[in-house]
Amino acid sequence: MSRWRNWSGVIVCTPRRLAIPADEAELAAIILAAREAGECVRPVGAGHSFTPLCATDGVQVSVSRFTGLRLVDQATGRVRVGAGTRLGELGAALHDHGLAMPNLGDIDVQCLAGALATGTHGTGVAFGNLATQVTGMRLVGADGQARWCSADNHADIFHAGRIHLGALGVVTEVELACVPTYRLHYRSGRIGWDDMLAGLEARRATHRNVEYYWFPYTDTVQLKTMDETRESPRGGGRWRRWQDLLVENGGLWVLSRLARARPASCPRLNRIAAAGVPRHDQIAPAHAAYATARLVRFNETEYSLPRAALPEVLRAIRTVIERDRFATNFPLEIRDAAADDVPLSPAYGRDSAYIAAHVHARMPFTDYFTALGEIFRDHGGRPHWGKWHDEDAGRLASRYPAWRDFEAVRKRLDPDGVFLNPHLYRVLVGSG
């Protein structure tokens, strides 16, 4: 047995076995054997979740051999993809076929299945989270059966399973609705705190994608916008990569080392970081424009909120940070997402804003994240399933109108709880 750690190193477990099945028959045999032995089975991808979703002392099942484009339908724009395919690799492969995903997040190292299962999202008022792009999936359940689930086949499983936390089974293949490839004009620069709040609605109406990074203890915000364009690519290449590595990663690494040594210096360090926000103006294919390299490791919490609550919540967060002097040298990230109908989606039934907070992987974060969680809950916040939170089913069920729809499907597909580890038992059932 060997230890498994997630990307940040905060989640550690020692599974009895790490299984890497080559096909669905082998996967089914693994699940059935574990069920017979009374062991927990947890699927694992890139390990980029900050909750113990993948942790188990039973069997971890990697989807790393279920990869690549399986089918491309140019007429409909639908593609079938191995569930273990990394988002960055998928974007490049789709581009080669003249296609793209309608939207993506700002990190692309996750595997497709994990990103979908946890409710990963990008930004933009016209776009739902990545799960809204799913039109079908192959799911191997606790009974060892592989089911193709779509709006026309096992529709209730499809409806619930687009965000399923690995609690319904192991996804091996996903069908996505793609669009013709497109280019994005990406701009980055600095604005003030008051300007950010005053211009929220205007920027949502003006830009395809809008993202803010507010540096605590300062009035400085990094504003990133992206808009579709037919102009030729420019402004990328080696210089952009060098800026990303030197400024956004190298500089952050240095400041994080100083913050770890002297946590009380975070306000001053944030002012330095804010002054160094780079100005970018770039045009690139969509898959190359969304993501930014994240080489400095961190832990993260993130909640979805009713969009109208965003200004009030941001002001409350600023008050708490400055009052309690939390040690963080990372900016808060602010994004938007459209309402959707996925039962466990943080954006279910409401147009949403997301706020994410980060702390260096080797610095304490629990008190800070807990304080933010209280603010989020006071405003109807729902946690991103892959980001740190201390919620349980007793508090969550009332915030998800279709909670019972998901739970009914889960109980039917996995009556013995094969896919429930202690974390999922607490989050979905209520204790453990």
Tell me which DSSP letter residue 278 carries.
P
Chain centroid to CA 286: how far?
18
- Within this chain, do residues 146 and 161 fall inside the same structural domain, yes or no? yes
Side-chain-side CA neighbours of residue 62 (13 Å) = 15
Residue 85 domain-assigned (yes or no): yes
CA dihedral 372, 378, 382, 388 (to 10 degrees): 20
Q: What is the CATH number of the domain that holds 134?
A: 3.30.465.10
User: For residues 260 and 272, what is the distance between their CA atoms, to the nearest angstrom?
Assistant: 16
- Within this chain, do residues 197 and 318 fall inside the same structural domain, yes or no? yes
- Within this chain, do residues 151 and 265 fall inside the same structural domain, yes or no? no
- Within this chain, do residues 237 and 347 fall inside the same structural domain, yes or no? yes
Q: Which of 180, 214, 232 is the last residue of a domain?
A: 180
- Within this chain, do residues 173 and 198 fall inside the same structural domain, yes or no? no
Across residues 377-398, what is the average pLDDT?
97
User: 113 is written with which tokens?
Assistant: 């299945």
pLDDT level of residue 245 (50, 70, 90 thresholds): low
110 in Cβ contact with 92 (< 8 Å): no
30 in Cβ contact with 39 (< 8 Å): no
Chain centroid to CA 94: how far?
20
Number of domains in the chain: 2
User: 45 is written with which tokens?
Assistant: 């991808």
Q: Is 431 a residue whose pLDDT tops 80?
A: no
Residue 147 domain-assigned (yes or no): yes
Give the tens place of pLDDT for each residue, 183-207.
Answer: 999 999 999 999 999 999 999 999 9
- Within this chain, do residues 172 and 209 fall inside the same structural domain, yes or no? no
Q: Is 238 a residue whose pLDDT tops 70?
A: no
Residue 7 domain-assigned (yes or no): no
Pairing of strands 17-19, 59-62: parallel
Give the tens place of pLDDT for each residue, 80-105.
Answer: 999 999 999 999 999 999 999 999 99
- Within this chain, do residues 80 and 147 fall inside the same structural domain, yes or no? yes
Give the tens place of pLDDT for each residue, 50-83.
Answer: 999 999 999 999 999 999 999 999 999 999 999 9
Q: Is 2 a residue whose pLDDT tops 90?
A: no
CA dihedral 214, 216, 219, 224 (to 10 degrees): -10
Q: Please report where in the chains the tokens 């706020």 appear, as a residue.
A: 355
The string of DSSP letters for 314-346 reads HHHHHHHHHHHT----S-EEEEEE--B--TT-T
147 in Cβ contact with 139 (< 8 Å): yes
Across residues 301-324, what is the average pLDDT?
98
Q: What is the pTM of this model?
A: 0.96
264 in Cβ contact with 327 (< 8 Å): yes
93 in Cβ contact with 87 (< 8 Å): no
> Which range marks the domain in which residue 166 is found?
69-180
- Within this chain, do residues 259 and 215 fall inside the same structural domain, yes or no? yes
- Within this chain, do residues 254 and 355 fall inside the same structural domain, yes or no? yes
165 in Cβ contact with 85 (< 8 Å): no
Q: Kindly list the distances between the CA atom of residue 80 and the CA atoms of 76, 173, 315, in Å, as whole numbers in the listed order.
A: 12, 7, 43
Residue 62 domain-assigned (yes or no): no
Q: What is the CA radius of gyration of the chain?
A: 21
Helical axes 366-378 vs 310-324, angle rounded to 10°: 150
Q: What is the CATH number of the domain that holds 318?
A: 3.40.462.10
- Within this chain, do residues 273 and 379 fall inside the same structural domain, yes or no? yes
